[in-house]
């Protein structure tokens, strides 16, 4: 018997990885794993109003401003003046970039009625004009907006397809990173149905309305030579441009801290092993209306700001001024920390956006402000923007995101009267690290409040219901534990409802 054959080692590839041009657009570079294919054409397609022109323009502007890559924007619909005015509201000074020869604008007027189709027709004139614009600024990036306006007057499909292929090949030969926008067709991603095949990357934008709430979404349909995110990702257009957010949950590999941070209520800290919450953990404060959830949350925000740490409050029921006034009556003066920008209150109605758009907006605010703590008051309001299951999934992604950044998150939840004490409509109780329950009880014929620590992972904690008062000096927990004991509500089969 001969010697066994040794396995053949896989040959290491010496081919360089695909070069990419960063877009500078929040989230898009992460989804594409580095940006758009450098020196190759990318097709951005979608219906009217979904953001195609804006994405292409932002790619061009950020390339010139952030990455030292001049660009050419050739438009077949809007004039240069109209484009400059449109992006001015997003904080981009297109006129200044043109004056500095970082961007060249060229409006090509195409009238379909004036186009004569014959076998000799080609785009040679367009290539000359585009080539001159590229040379005038040394462009590395090119945008053509939109391809339908250029080819819309053609009925000869053979000529149209031949010229489309030649256009994309010409752009490749010039070595420019090109973005071509196109309107979505009925049976294909574009009206011509060919652009998607000759493009190296295809990005599909979508603007849909569900139950009177609009959401924009982005999907990478294909990307030759590169892996990429394949899901639909919600994106936001606001005063600073486009932000895209991957909506999948992050892996459970975030760092944890042994450091403890005070709740702002000394006797509550004592109930939590004497030192408060773990930094970077998640806390849920639930209870019926009027039990003091917002005051518990504001106490934590006040304490974080007093330590010199930034805290972000996302309020969905009260305006910032109303919240500041109300908390002042219980001894929590938030105004000085707002002026120092240690505390920021962002208030909006939960129905203003869909759930995914709320997630994108929160992600953007957190990234910009970089807080050590985030308060969401209350998360139960998200149910008005979608189903309880959808709200729970959105909050799961949000909590994962905050934990990945080491941010301590405190969420309040309004429970309805008569519901199980351990019930949360949005179903996030299993992923919460510390859970505080606030409740009403009768004692001596008077209505009183009680606080109970249902769970607190990784630390010993009191399991008694502590009566407390909300006074002009904040929350005051009583020493004793003589409130009625908390009842456990079980589901069929003996499992605790959560």
* Each residue's pLDDT tens digit, 199-226: 889 999 988 776 666 778 899 999 998 8
CB 294 within 8 A of CB 377: yes
Which pair of tokens denotes residue 284?
């849920």
Say what the pLDDT of residue 2 is. 44
DSSP code per residue over 386-419: S-HHHHHHHHHHHHHHHHHTT-EEEEEEEPPTTS
pLDDT of residue 490: 34
pLDDT score, position 498: 34
Can you tell me the mean pLDDT for 178-200?
73
- What's the CA gap between 26 and 243, in Å, rounded? 5
Mean pLDDT along residues 2-26: 61
Q: Between residues 482 and 97, which one has the greater pLDDT?
A: 97
The sign of the torsion formed by the CA atoms of 25, 353, 414, 318 equals: positive
Mean pLDDT, to the nearest integer, of 330-336? 95
Residue 350, SS3 per DSSP: helix
In angstroms, how far apart are the furthest CA atoms of the chain? 98
| Tokens 């959830």 belong to residue | 293
- Write b or e for each residue in 180-206: b if 16 or more Cβ atoms lie within 10 A of its Cβ, otherwise e: bbbbbeeeebbbbebbbbbbbbbbbbb
Alpha helices in 188-340 (DSSP H): 195-198, 266-271, 293-306, 320-328, 335-339
For the chain, the residue count is 498
Distance CA 202, CA 182 (A): 10
pLDDT at 354 over 80: no
Distance of CA 6 to CAs 1, 2, 9, 10, 359, Å? Answer: 15, 12, 9, 12, 53
Q: Which domains does the chain have, with CATH numbers?
A: 20-244 (3.40.50.300), 260-477 (3.40.50.300)
- Top-confidence range, 3-12, 46-55, 368-377, 485-494: 368-377
Q: What percent of the chain has pLDDT over 70?
A: 79
Confirm if 407 and 373 have CB atoms less than 8 A apart.
yes
Question: Which has the closest alpha carbon to 137: 98, 170, 167?
Answer: 98
Nearest to 283 by CA among 258, 255, 263: 263
Q: 475, 468 in Cβ contact below 8 A?
A: yes
* Selected residue with higher pLDDT from 67 and 209: 67
Question: Tokens in use for 402?
Answer: 């905050």
- How much is the pTM? 0.68
How much is the mean pLDDT over the chain? 81
Give the residue ranges of DSSP H helices in 89-206. Answer: 94-99, 124-137, 147-151, 157-174, 195-198
Instruction: Give the pLDDT band of residue 352 (cuts 50, 70, 90).
Output: low
DSSP-derived secondary structure letter, 487: P
Residue 482 has pLDDT above 50, yes or no: no
- Mean pLDDT check: name the lowest of 279-288, 322-331, 436-445: 436-445
pLDDT over 50 at 182, yes or no = yes
In this structure, the number of other CB atoms found within 10 A of the CB of residue 366 comes to: 18
Which of 92, 151, 97 has its CA nearest to residue 126?
A: 151
Identify the three-state secondary structure at position 195: helix
* pLDDT at residue 248, rounded to an integer: 56
> In which band, very low, low, confident or very high, does the pLDDT at 10 lie, cut at 50, 70 and 90?
very low
Q: Report the pLDDT averaged over residues 404-411.
A: 94
Is the per-residue pLDDT at 496 higher than 50?
Answer: no
The CA angle 239-339-413, to the nearest 5 degrees, is: 75
Average pLDDT over residues 28-47: 92
Question: Is pLDDT larger for residue 480 or for residue 23?
Answer: 23
């Amino acid at each position: 018997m001969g010697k066994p054959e040794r396995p053949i080692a896989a040959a290491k590839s010496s081919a360089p990885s695909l070069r990419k041009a960063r877009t500078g657009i929040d989230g898009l570079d992460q989804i594409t794993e580095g940006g758009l294919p450098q020196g190759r054409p990318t097709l951005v397609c979608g219906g009217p109003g979904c953001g195609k022109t804006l994405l292409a323009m932002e790619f061009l502007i950020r390339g010139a401003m952030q990455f030292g890559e001049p660009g050419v924007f050739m438009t077949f619909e809007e004039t240069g003046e109209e484009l400059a005015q449109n992006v001015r509201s997003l904080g981009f000074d297109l006129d200044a970039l043109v004056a500095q020869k970082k961007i060249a604008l060229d409006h090509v007027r195409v009238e379909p009625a004036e186009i004569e189709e014959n076998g000799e027709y080609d785009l040679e004139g367009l290539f000359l004009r585009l080539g001159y614009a590229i040379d005038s600024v040394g462009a590395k990036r090119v945008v053509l907006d939109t391809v339908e306006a250029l080819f819309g007057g053609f009925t000869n499909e053979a000529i149209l397809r031949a010229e489309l292929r030649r256009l994309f090949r010409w752009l490749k030969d010039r070595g420019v990173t090109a973005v071509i926008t196109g309107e979505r067709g009925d049976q294909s991603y574009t009206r011509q149905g060919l652009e998607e095949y000759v493009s190296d990357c295809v990005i599909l934008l979508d603007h849909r309305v569900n139950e009177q709430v609009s959401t924009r979404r982005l999907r990478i349909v294909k990307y030759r030579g590169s892996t990429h995110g394949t899901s639909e990702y919600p994106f936001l257009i606001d005063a600073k441009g486009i932000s895209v957010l991957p909506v999948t949950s992050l892996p459970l590999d975030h760092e944890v801290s042994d450091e403890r941070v005070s709740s702002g209520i000394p006797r509550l800290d004592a109930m939590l092993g004497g030192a408060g919450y773990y930094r970077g953990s998640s806390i849920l404060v639930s209870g019926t209306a009027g039990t003091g959830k917002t005051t518990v949350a504001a106490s934590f925000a006040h304490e974080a700001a007093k330590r010199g740490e930034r805290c972000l409050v996302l309020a969905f029921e009260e305006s910032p001024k109303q919240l500041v006034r109300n908390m002042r009556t219980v001894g929590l003066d938030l105004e000085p920390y707002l002026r120092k920008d240690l505390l920021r209150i962002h208030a909006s109605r939960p129905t203003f956006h869909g759930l995914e758009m709320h997630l994108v907006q929160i992600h953007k605010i957190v990234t910009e402000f970089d807080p050590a703590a985030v308060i969401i008051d209350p998360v139960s309001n998200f149910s008005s923007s979608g189903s309880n299951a959808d709200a729970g999934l959105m909050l799961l992604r949000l909590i994962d995101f905050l934990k990945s950044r080491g941010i301590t998150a405190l969420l309040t939840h309004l429970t309805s009267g008569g519901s199980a004490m351990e019930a949360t409509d949005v179903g996030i109780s299993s992923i919460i690290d510390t859970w505080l329950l606030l409740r009403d009880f009768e004692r001596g014929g008077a209505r009183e409040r009680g606080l109970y620590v249902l769970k607190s992972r990784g630390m010993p904690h009191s399991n008694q219901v502590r009566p407390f008062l909300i006074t002009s000096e904040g929350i005051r927990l009583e020493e004793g534990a003589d409130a009625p004991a908390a009842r456990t509500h079980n589901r069929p089969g003996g499992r605790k409802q959560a």
